Structure 1
Amino acid sequence: MQGLPPEALDQVAAYFQALSEPTRLQILNMLRGGELNVGELAQACGYTSANISRHLSMLMRHGLVARESRGTAVYYRIADESVYALCELVCGNIARQLDRSAADRKAFGRAGATTGTPRR
């Protein structure tokens, strides 16, 4: 991102915003197994078709999913597989942070036990 003009940074922020909603992440996870139509996604997610369509529209705008019409149904698939590598990177980072927090809490608990400080 170094050296990008503000307009480009706006586009990067919008891309991350598309990934910032749990329902959209759920949709991306479901499409990992193959293409699905709006009704199938709605049923699997437990949301209305209108809600899923709105999320799919955002994902399409950012090039994350693609659509294909087949008769009266529209099927969606992942358009950019690299989104999964990005998500794995973020998940790994979160896991490491949680591990560090757990180790810190554990060390704090040991310190309280050795100093006689009551633990909560």
Structure 2
Amino acid sequence: MEDLPPEALQQVAAYFQALSEPTRLQILNLLRGGERNVGELAKACGYTAANVSRHLTHLQQQGLVEREGRGTSVFYRIADPAVFALCDLVCGNIARKHERNAAERRVFSRTAGTGPLSKP
């Protein structure tokens, strides 16, 4: 992102904003297995078709999904599989953070009751 003009940073922020909604991440994860229509996605997510459709529109605007009409149905698929590499990178970072926090908690739990303020 080095030396990007403000307009480009706005686009980057909009892309990340599309990924900041848990329902959209759930939809992307479902589409990882292949294309689906709105009804299938709504049923799998437990949301209304209108709600899922709104999220899909947002994902499409950011270039994350593509839509294709077939007869009376519209099918969605991943437009840029690199989004999964990005999500996996973030998930790995979060997992490492939790591991560090757990390790720090274990250190304190092992020393509980042995410090200078503990009761004899």
User: Is TM more than 0.5 here?
Assistant: yes
User: Normalization by structure 2: what TM-score?
Assistant: 0.95
What is the CA distance between 1:116 and its match in structure 2?
6.5
> Aligned residues: percent identity?
69
Number of residue pairs matched by the alignment: 118
Residue type matched to 2:83 in 1? V
Structure 1 distance, partners of 2:62, 2:13, is 11
Q: CA deviation at 1:115?
A: 1.8
**Any unmatched runs of 5+ in structure 2?**
none
Q: Distance in 2 between matches of 1:24 and 1:105?
A: 33
Q: Which residue does the alignment assign to 2:43?
A: 43
In 1, the alpha carbon distance for the partners of 2:117 and 2:59 equals 52
> Counterparts of 1:49 and 1:73 in 2: how far apart (Å)?
12
Q: Normalising by the residue count of structure 1, what TM-score does the alignment of the two structures yield? A: 0.95
Stretches of structure 1 that go unaligned for 5 or more consecutive residues are: none
The residue type equivalent to 1:27 in the other structure is I
Structure 1 ranges of 4+ moved more than 4 A:
none
Q: Deviations over 1:27-78 (max 9, x none)?
A: 0000000000000000110000000000000000000000000000000000
C-alpha separation in 1, matches of 2:26 and 2:39: 15
1:65 has 2:65 as partner: yes
**Correspondence for 1:108:** 108
Partner residue in 2 for 1:14: 14
The alignment partner of 2:112 has SS state of helix
- The match for 1:82 is 82
Aligned partners of 1:113, 1:91: CA distance in 2, in Å? 35
